[in-house]
Amino acid sequence: MPLDPSAFNQYREFMGEDADAFIADIVQTFMTSAPKALEDMKALIAAGKRTEFVRAAHTLKSNSATVGANDLRQLCETMERQGHTLDSAALESMLAQAVREYQQAERELKDWLAK
100 confidence band (pLDDT: 50, 70, 90): very high
CATH of the domain at 20: 1.20.120.160
State the pLDDT at residue 43: 98
Q: Domain containing 15: what range?
A: 5-114
State the pLDDT at residue 37: 98
Helix, coil or strand: residue 69: coil
**Tally of domains within the chain:** 1
Q: Is this structure's pTM higher than 0.85?
A: yes
Judge whether residue 110 has pLDDT over 70: yes
How far apart, in Å, are the Cα atoms of 58 and each of 20, 25, 41, 72, 103?
A: 26, 21, 11, 11, 19
Q: Are 8 and 21 in contact (CB under 8 A)?
A: no
Separation between Cα atoms, residue 13 and residue 57, nearest integer Å: 29
Render pLDDT for 25-77 as a digit per residue (tens, 0 to 9). 999 999 999 999 999 999 999 999 999 999 999 999 999 999 999 999 999 99
Helix (DSSP H) and strand (DSSP E) numbers for the chain: 5, 0
Q: Are 35 and 60 in contact (CB under 8 A)?
A: no
